[in-house]
Amino acid sequence: MSSSRAIAAVTRERGAKKRPKPLIRSAGIRLALVYAAVFGVSAFALAFSLWYSTVGLLERQVEVAIRNDATALNDHYTMGGLPSLVTAIEDRLAISPDGDAIYLLLDARGTKIIGNLDHWPAGLNQTDAWYELPVTRHGAGSTALLRAFGLGNGDQLLVGRDDSARTQLRGILEQGLLSAMGLMTLLGLVGAILIRALFRRTIQDIAATTRAISRGDLTRRVPQSGDGDEFDELAEIINDMLDRITRLMDGVREVSNSIAHDLRTPITRARTRLEDAALHASSPDDLRSAIERATDDLDGVVAVFQALLRIAEIEAGARRSAFAMLDLSPLLLDIEDLYHAVAEDRGILLRTEICNPLRLLGDRELIQQAVTNLLENALKFSPEGAVITFRAARAGATIEITIADNGPGISEQDRLRATERFFRAESARSTTGSGLGLALVSAVANLHNGMLSLSDNHPGLRAVILLPQTPDLPGD
Amino acid sequence: MRILVVEDDKDVAGFVVKGLREAGHTVEHADNGRDGLFLAASENFDAIILDRMLPGGIDGLRLLETLRAQDNVTPVVFLSALSQVDDRVKGLKAGGDDYLTKPFAFAELLARVEALTRRGKTDGPTTRLAVGDLEIDLLSRGVKRAGQKIDLQPREFRLLEYLMRHAGQVVTRTMLLEGVWDYHFDPQTNVIDVHVSRLRQKIDKPFELPLLHTVRNAGYMLRAEDV
């Protein structure tokens, strides 16, 4: 009661803590946009690096050439004065008259001494700085990279390189990159749309399946492509989950049907007895005995409920907190002591072999009840003169508690279902019992990380509880 | 005996109070935790029958803890619909002397309450118990009836000892399972009947006057006079 209220409170709290609403509702579109953005950024980075490494490299090379040229000319000037410098420039211009090298030497008054420029370019007013300016050479205009150097007595030397070839190259590159960018944007968008479509298709399969299931069609499963990719894996996980839910629901349905059926019988009997007594009882004694028998019937109903609750309690695993180190030997000998007399009374031989000691981490009371259930079953189904074997031994790190009888046993196809709640084999229908005994034994064994194994004892049933000596307990 | 019943369910309370009065006890009833605690703390009772879930802000566990904190040692039997093992352990840890889950048979409740009050009265360890001409020595573990020595298995001795400690009282099968075998659940078979009938073979069969009586719909009673 209180725990369910707590869960409700948590859910409410979680609901109240609203996440900010995303701008775009479709995860597919968001994913596509992210893809386009990543693609665009990487394309831009690629183009930029290409640009930098070609145009930038050319520019730097030109700068280095200008600097070297200027240094060489300066050397001429320092060593041979103005005439030497003039000769050097003349030589250079003579070697390649149509080359892209540009020189202009002015004296202190601003008169041209030598050079292939018609006049000092407008805007160039500082020495030792890079300029990219339009120039006129032999009457033809073009752009050039220029640098001015001051010489000793107010003379000024301008060294530069014609830029037109480089500008042309830059133009071609720019155009190429721009069209490439356009293409990339287009490709990015197409890719984004494709991704979105793929995403939607995969999600749609899962969405359609889960929607059908929430409408009540539990037979639907997410189709798997068989590629073994992540979506396939997800589909498999979802299908496994659905299988388990289906099994659990079947179990619940079966148990509730069984409860309704198994409890209706004794309740109906009690009701009939009481009504019959009320109508026909002729003496107080009759009345009293009818009431007593009806009370017994109701006690049986209560016992079934207790057993169901007990199994639920065990299956919930809550009792692991009560686990303690214990020795099973005296516990099993006590059970033997209690039932030996019963067996003897019924002319059944109870053959017991209990190893000593059998130390185990577990729940004393539950193991006691599980073993008792098996022993009572064996006693119930054994005819007079039969032998029941009750053995407990250690096998490696496992303790085996065996109870074998020579009764009718359980047929092979029933054995798998024998531990289900309320399952009763055809041969056991005529005997008393609720069909919960083995379910409890199995639950107890599972709680201890062990198991209950049922096999043929040729003839009869051989039930073995396998318990690890130290179950690995989660959280302990 | 003076018994306090703290139970909020009118039908259950009425049933218990009526039954206890018929058995010759004086009964007080409180239908909520606060009144129950007030009565339990201010008056003297021989036993308290206490429900776990009670209205009035104080539940059964709190009531008992408060009572025990005041050094009140009145025997307490819990009567509760909370039937999980942990619930029983909690009840006993809080200072309860016995724990009975609903639904219950009145005979079981009566037997347990009477057993508790008797237990409260025994003072000091006894070494010898006797009922009629049957006597047992707890130290030598010897059993004699009318001077004749009777051989008992260890478990039969413990069964007899339990019955003798509660001589003159009804002892239910569940009480025997818990007290002698330390079993806390009901087996499907009549194990206790088998053991009692074996004991009866040894201590009653050869003698004229039966001491071990079967009480219909309740259990057994060891007693010198006829029931």
Q: What is the mean pLDDT of chain A?
A: 82
Confidence at residue B44, expressed as pLDDT on a 0 to 100 scale:
92
Residue A253 CA: distances (Å) to CA of A305, A383, A419: 17, 36, 16
Quick: pLDDT tens for B19-59. Answer: 999 999 999 999 999 999 999 999 999 999 999 999 888 89
Confidence at residue B150, expressed as pLDDT on a 0 to 100 scale:
92
A248: tokens are: 């659990």
Q: Which of B189, B190, B192 has the highest number of chain A CBs within 10 A, making it the mutation to test binding with A?
A: B189
Chain CA centroid to CA A379, Å: 51
- H helical segments located in chain B: 10-22, 33-42, 60-69, 85-93, 106-121, 154-165, 173-181, 191-203
**SS3 of residue B27 by DSSP:** strand
- B104 inside 8 A of chain A by CB: no
Q: How confident is the model at residue A8 (pLDDT cuts 50, 70, 90)?
A: very low
Quick: pLDDT tens for B197-222. Answer: 999 999 998 888 899 999 988 899 99
Which chain B residues are Cβ-neighbours of A338 within 8 angstroms?
Answer: 181, 183, 187, 191, 195
Nearest in space to A31 (alpha carbons), one of A199, A235, A184: A199
Confidence at residue A4, expressed as pLDDT on a 0 to 100 scale:
45
Binary contact (A319, B85; C-beta < 8 A): yes
Binary contact (B183, A306; C-beta < 8 A): no
- Comparing A50-64, A440-454, B160-174, which segment has the lowest mean pLDDT? A50-64
**SS3 of residue A474 by DSSP:** coil
Is the peptide bond preceding residue A459 cis, with omega within 30 degrees of 0? yes
Is the model's pLDDT at A206 over the cut of 80? yes
Cross-strand pairs, A148 = A158
Confidence at residue B118, expressed as pLDDT on a 0 to 100 scale:
65
- H helical segments located in A17-155: 27-51, 57-95
Binary contact (A334, B182; C-beta < 8 A): yes
Classify domain A318-468 by CATH number: 3.30.565.10
- Comparing A7-21, A113-127, A193-207, B102-116, which segment has the lowest mean pLDDT? A7-21
Helix A57-95 and helix A164-214: axis angle, to 10°? 160
Quick: pLDDT tens for B113-139. Answer: 988 876 545 556 778 888 988 999 999
What's the rounded mean pLDDT across residues A253-281?
Answer: 84
- Comparing A22-31, A100-109, A171-180, A213-222, which segment has the lowest mean pLDDT? A22-31
Domain ranges of chain A: 22-103+157-215, 230-313, 318-468
To the nearest 10°, report the CA torsion of B65, B69, B74, B76.
10
CA distance A330 to chain B (A): 11
**SS3 of residue A223 by DSSP:** coil
Binary contact (B187, A345; C-beta < 8 A): no
Confidence at residue A126, expressed as pLDDT on a 0 to 100 scale:
83
Confidence at residue A84, expressed as pLDDT on a 0 to 100 scale:
87
Distance of alpha carbon B145 from alpha carbon B131, whole angstroms: 9
Domains of chain B and CATH, by start: 2-121 (3.40.50.2300), 128-222 (1.10.10.10)
Distance of alpha carbon A459 from alpha carbon A406, whole angstroms: 5
Confidence at residue B158, expressed as pLDDT on a 0 to 100 scale:
93
What's the rounded mean pLDDT across residues B186-190?
Answer: 82
Confidence at residue B122, expressed as pLDDT on a 0 to 100 scale:
55
Residue A63 C-beta-side C-alpha neighbours within 13 Å = 11
Is the model's pLDDT at A25 over the cut of 70? no
Beta-carbon count within 10 A of B8 CB: 16
**SS3 of residue A419 by DSSP:** coil
Distance of alpha carbon B193 from alpha carbon A475, whole angstroms: 44
Select the residue of B86, B185, B195 nearest A341 (Cβ to Cβ).
B195
What's the rounded mean pLDDT across residues A209-237?
Answer: 83
Nearest in space to A366 (alpha carbons), one of B75, B184, B83: B184
Is the model's pLDDT at A6 over the cut of 70? no
Cross-strand pairs, A162 = A144
CA-only gyration radius of chain B, Å: 19
Q: Which of A342, A348, A441 has the highest number of chain B CBs within 10 A, making it the mutation to test binding with B?
A: A342
Chain CA centroid to CA A307, Å: 38
Q: How confident is the model at residue A13 (pLDDT cuts 50, 70, 90)?
A: very low
Is the model's pLDDT at A166 over the cut of 80? no
Confidence at residue A7, expressed as pLDDT on a 0 to 100 scale:
44
Distance of alpha carbon B23 from alpha carbon B17, whole angstroms: 10
pTM: 0.63
CA distance A376 to chain B (A): 7
pLDDT greater at residue B172 or residue A139: B172
